[in-house]
Chain A
């Protein structure tokens, strides 16, 4: 009985853990995928990020040329805080930048900025 129980209890958690892990893993990729999509949408949306006004971004139409092309972002900015900071208020890094302070002026919410950063990290 005890043995039986032990076996059960030994197997159960592993199984449960495995289940939990796989569920968690699939949930998190799904979530990551959806924030990336959300971020792309925000970046391309004219009334939101409208990043295409100034940046060439893979997959976007009619880009402007005011800012640098957004490529290899992950190697240039391995730390996501740096990207969040650029989006929050690039004038802190470069007072004369033409890039709007998306966070400071509440053009994008914190959540939206995070989604855009997720998207940027795929570029």
Chain B
């Protein structure tokens, strides 16, 4: 019965972890949402679990979890497979729209070195605005058709914008607005809620099992998990946006994925980015 007690111990540890992560869930009086404490506990959970991984390395997803893979990643960075997408993104970004304006006109600082501030909470609209969403809104405001959220053009644009922000610490703000706090809380709830026929939450894979193999893939830790987006994946033989990754993860657990940039995905991205504050932007990333 050694195994049973091991299971109980492990589950007790997980309950504890889940509670800390969820910021003292059940009984607490009128549970005040406390993102600062959340982010601290979240970071500590991962640094305790992986004491050998440097904080800034968590952003390298599966590569941070395995020394052999890490070496492969360093080799790959010599001839990065996202180079093509990056070039394309740079060109697209500087090319004016038909009306003569360009992406630079839609963003602070001409869109350069600002990736770390996305997503942000828009107090006028009362919603979370991701970089992908802001790019399409920019296009539409200038009379251009929006791009697919899961295809190459969007990946190229976000790859370029991430590249100009490499090394900048993620810097997500939660303004003093109850709706912002609510968006954060909803994102967190989505992240920890089990769904799909396989009964997985995002956290099942990326909090409970990072570093483990799921078949041949090594699971990335949730800390810094969005800092490397978009990513080139050999398995996709191409680039994937954040939207593509979220919907793919949902399909893998036989859940019906939401449509890209659904409010819930925007909230999850807000939550995940906030709790990764301080970790460097490393996108675009390359993955096995």
Question: Which A residues contact B (CB, under 8 angstroms)?
Answer: 52-54, 62-66, 68, 76, 91, 93-98, 100-101, 105-107
Contacts and interface: CB of A to CB of B under 8 A. Distances in A.
A111 to B, nearest CB: 18
B214 A64 contact: yes
B109 interface: no
A108 to B, nearest CB: 11
A48 B3 CA distance: 26
Interface residues of B, number: 21
24 contacts: A52-B215, A62-B216, A63-B215, A64-B212, A64-B213, A66-B209, A66-B213, A68-B3, A76-B3, A94-B8, A94-B11, A95-B11, A95-B15, A96-B14, A96-B18, A98-B205, A98-B208, A98-B209, A100-B197, A100-B199, A101-B199, A105-B199, A107-B197, A107-B198
Interface of B: 3, 7-8, 10-11, 14-15, 18, 197-200, 204-205, 208-209, 212-216
Q: Helix, strand, loop or mixed for chain A's interface?
A: loop
B199 A93 contact: no
B214 A96 contact: no
Nearest to B252: A53
A9 B10 CA distance: 66
Contacts of B11: 94-97
A98 B216 contact: no
B212 A65 contact: yes
Contacts of A53: 214-215
Contact of A64 (B7, B8, B204, B215): B215
Contact of B7 (A52, A54, A94, A107): A94
State the 3 A-B residue pairs at the shortest beta-carbon distance, nearest first.
A100-B198, A64-B213, A65-B213
A52 B213 CA distance: 10
Contacts of B215: 52-53, 62-64
A66 B212 contact: yes
A105 B198 contact: yes
